[in-house]
Amino acid sequence: MSRDEDGSKADAPALLHRPSQTASFVMVHVGQKPEIRRNLRHGIETRSWGFPLWKPEYRSARPRFAVLATGVGPRVQPDVWTTKKITLYLFEVRENFYEAEAPHWPDEEAENAIKYPVRFGIEPLAVLHDVSLDAGGPLGLTASDAIRVSGTQRGIGLLVDMDPQPLLNAAGIPTNWSEQQTVALNRTPGFTPEQVKSPKPPKRRPSGAGFVSDPKKRKAIELHAEDMAVAHYEGEGWTAERLGKPYDLHCTRGGEERRVEVKGTTGAATSVDLTINEVEHARNPQNTVDLFVVSDIKVDMRTGDYTTSGGRVLHLHDWAPADEDLRPRSFEYRLPLS
């Protein structure tokens, strides 16, 4: 409490709310075995990661970022660990921990079993090579050691609160975390599964149900998601017509009209692939567009006709994708005039 010039008491100015400079991270050590490398590539492609065991803190955790680290064996003393350099795959966590219902990774599909029931959704931000694990590196000692410990515990993720700014700076991502508390996707380099060193193929082709035609599986997932979307809209009194192109469903109810894009995945609801036509169609103010995403779809591939079931729905009404949530994966290059 302060006093005015006349001696009377004056209320102290309200304290300004300052955003936290720290964020919650999931730190994960990823091994070098061929099956783990295949899972890493698949996880990047499908925007999902998972662990074999639940930890109590996962239930209430709300991580903002995840780091999958690889290239250094974890079974060394801490003083030796900090002399090493490692490769980091930096992700934003877009879907929190959930209980999986569908086999997703190649080794799960081969055995038709859920080996990693703890799942969460990840969006690739950047790859960092030759990152120092000592106190001067962008991780700091606490997060660095969390990666080492994760590697001694079957790659279970450890939660760490840390300032993300040094890591974002090292990745070349332009943002002021303490002020913005967010990362624009279109200002991140991203990465693809092809940037992970491919494991050597097995000496003989496994005979499990997971090794099947990808296009056939993809089609089964798409149809399952579309069936769920049709059932949802018809349950609300809409008439749903399947089009496929230029958009998936044309829904009418009385004088109302909705155009629906449908996406399906066996992984998490983190991001979806869009064509330029889908983006422009959703952004056209003359169109009323919804996005209907079905994740964690179960596909039973033990028979010739794939059987799909389950799924978790994310339904976005009046959807128009913003620039900061879009990142181009390819470009059309116009050649110079000859």
Tell whether 136 and 272 lie within a shared domain.
no
Tell whether 171 and 251 lie within a shared domain.
no
Tell whether 165 and 259 lie within a shared domain.
no
> What local confidence, expressed as pLDDT, does residue 162 receive?
95
Tell whether 100 and 218 lie within a shared domain.
no
> What local confidence, expressed as pLDDT, does residue 244 receive?
87
What token pair was written down for 235?
A: 């349950």
Is 205 within the bounds of a domain? no
Tell whether 219 and 182 lie within a shared domain.
no
Local confidence band at 198 (pLDDT 50, 70, 90 cut-offs): low
Residue with tokens 């990152």: 131
Domain span at 80: 23-195
C-beta of residue 229 within 8 angstroms of C-beta of residue 240: yes
> What local confidence, expressed as pLDDT, does residue 331 receive?
74
Distance CA 107, CA 115 (A): 8
Q: Mean pLDDT check: name the lowest of 50-54, 152-156, 203-207, 287-291.
A: 203-207
Tell whether 34 and 182 lie within a shared domain.
yes
Q: Domain total for the chain? A: 2
Tell whether 162 and 48 lie within a shared domain.
yes
Residues 60-104 have pLDDT tens digits of: 999 999 999 999 999 999 999 999 999 999 999 999 999 988 888
> What local confidence, expressed as pLDDT, does residue 14 receive?
46
Tell whether 176 and 221 lie within a shared domain.
no
Average pLDDT score over residue span 1-10 = 43
Residues 101-153 have pLDDT tens digits of: 888 888 888 888 889 999 999 999 999 999 999 999 999 999 999 999 999 99
Is 332 within the bounds of a domain? no
Tell whether 233 and 303 lie within a shared domain.
yes
> What local confidence, expressed as pLDDT, does residue 311 receive?
92
Share of the chain above pLDDT 90, in %: 64
> What local confidence, expressed as pLDDT, does residue 6 receive?
45
Tell whether 62 and 108 lie within a shared domain.
yes
Distance CA 273, CA 263 (A): 9
Would strands 48-51 and 312-316 be described as parallel, antiparallel, or unpaired? unpaired
